Structure 1
């Protein structure tokens, strides 16, 4: 017997290709609520045929928080637990039991693992904790984009981690993200003191190659009193460095990368960024030093800022190249072999290892 009444709610627009997969995953819930915001395909019909309660409403001007709040309003008032997810996201089977086993009446929201991206073989590429499961009452969504749940209930906030509950993200990459930038600008305009929104806006400017706007915004982020999370501050500095590098101001790029390392020395990302910059400058001692320091870090924070490249072949590849140029061929071979083991189908890595081994054989023959 189920212990709680659980409702899943979502927003949709032109998601017909993902409806069956999503409904299969959320079918463990007692009810499935969807607010469709203007589909022109068969999304609404397919959802209804699979048993979802679908409401239709156009949100103008568009804001994600308004849309999600409209959807949440449709959830049964006697629901114990609300589960918000998108139609391009899939829970692993058995998620309901895991949630019910962990949830207690005093809990206000639940945290679980969110797999943001996958490798070609469907293995995990990037993952981090998520918390979009919550009580029916006392919550609302805020911010036009990158919206979050705000709690205003009478009880004290109490979050629970749900072991084994995993949500996978399979994004529709055909959909543009052009709406994100103006919505982030609006978010910062509405609350200039919001450090997270300011950081995301600066990062978005970088993605759009608006490098000067990105630098200005990220510097504002660093000055906000609430911007205290060192890993995010380090990322802000790293992105500033990337923008300066794109603007061909290498002295500033190097300076900001060293600041990024100093801000949060226990993550690999800034070391990899500085190693890559050293590679461009053919500064092999710098590359080698950064590789060694990064590889000494053996535990990832697991935050949304973790870059999978920092935990893949890249550092070993740079280690192989830098030590080759420094004449440390045994080390170069070891790094190259490790890089290839992490990306065994990469032809460049194969060729690099073969080149290093050939160089070692030549030197051995000369010694003889």
Structure 2
């Protein structure tokens, strides 16, 4: 079984050494360079990668990735799309050889997107950029995805394969909004494209545009993924709160919890807003609902704060305001255990410990 790792790149010189190291074990490493001027091409070639310059005008990610895929040798069996700022887990080839099965066409693995400065992953979810050499193509101008082309898929779910993303915060994402506008116009019935466009408009604080696209998303027949629908309702709440309409923001958050009650994020967002309003009983109830959900994150739009110390911190503060100092102390201790270097949380534990002892 011959495995190729393939990528597209532009001015990624700082990531080349790590990329080449993580690719060790692949039978072929290929990079389609889209116009580097910082030595990326030379460094990749010096490290043994095959590099071919390509020109994509006007730019779109799916066209670039399809060009890279088309240039892979015909004798490759399995392809793994990897960006230069992504790293495979140690021993990936051994796990791959053990877990891939004959006849499979698509591999799913855990992905840790956008690691934070302290090394913790931003969001963890399952993704599937591992595929057979034939029968696949990339679609969507931005946030591109793989689709089968006249192929009956056979899936493998890797237990021991993981990819970690270490982003370069200095790189601009300015082209994303225009490309997402293109994608939404090309496929106006796609809930996926409407979701990403809503999220991008939120990023730019275009509250009016984001709300318009979010409402369009919810009206689409293709918007059937309840977890994503709940996330969009959360975006609508942000839009309403941003213009001072807290009443409707709370209404959207409550709808989000009803749509996907098993999703932690909606409960945490609701607890956040109830904290801002000073409704301590409701804030505690929402935070407790979030903490009762033990299922880990599974989607790219999950909020890492939901799995952090934050829900315990909210519950602790609300319980304290309700005079429940022992309960507040327990949540404060749990919050500190999840974020042991946080001095504010440490002070909370000390203060609540005294209150609980004197109660």
Q: CA deviation at 1:333?
A: 1.4
- Correspondence 1:112 to 2:97: no
Contact 2:33 2:41 in 1 (8 A): yes
Aligned residue number for residue 203 of structure 2: 207
The count of residues paired between Structure 1 and Structure 2 equals 359
Give the equivalent residue in structure 2 for 1:95: 92
2:143 and 2:89 map into 1 onto residues whose CA distance is 24
TM-score by structure 1 length?
0.94
Work out whether 1:45 is the aligned partner of 2:42.
Answer: yes
Q: Show structure 1 runs of 5+ residues with no match.
A: none
Q: Distance in 1 between matches of 2:215 and 2:273?
A: 21
Asked if the contact 2:110/2:125 (under 8 Å) is kept, the reply is yes
Structure 1 residue 282 displacement after superposition: 0.9
The alpha carbon displacement at 1:355 in A equals 2.7
Give the one of 237, 253, 259 matched to 1:257: 253
Superposed CA offset, 1:181-208 (max 9, x none): 1100000000001111100100111111
In structure 2, what is the equivalent of residue 19 of structure 1? 16
Cα distance in 1 for partners of 2:89, 2:321 equals 47
- 1:234-253 alignment runs, 5 A limit: 234-253=230-249
> Is the 2:31–2:51 Cα contact (8 Å) retained in structure 1?
yes
CA contact (8 A) 2:125 2:297 kept: no
Question: TM-score, normalising length from structure 2?
Answer: 0.96
2:325 matches 1:344: no
1:139 aligns with 136
Instruction: Tell me the equivalent position of 1:322.
Output: 318
Computing the radius of gyration over CA atoms, which structure comes out larger, 1 or 2?
1
What's 1:58 paired with?
55
Q: Which residue of 2 aligns with 1:171?
A: 167
Q: CA deviation at 1:120?
A: 4.4
Kindly indicate whether the alpha-carbon contact (under 8 Å) linking 2:231 and 2:256 is maintained by their aligned counterparts in 1.
yes
Partner of 1:74: 71
Return the alpha-carbon distance in structure 1 between the equivalents of residues 252 and 119 of structure 2: 35
Deviation, 1:166, is 1.1
User: 2:81 aligns to what?
Assistant: 84
1:303, CA displacement in angstroms? 2.1
Structure 2 unmatched ranges of 5 or more:
none
CA drift of 1:125 comes to 4.2
Report the CA distance between 1:122 and its aligned residue: 2.7
* Whole-angstrom distance in 1 between the partners of 2:159 and 2:334: 32
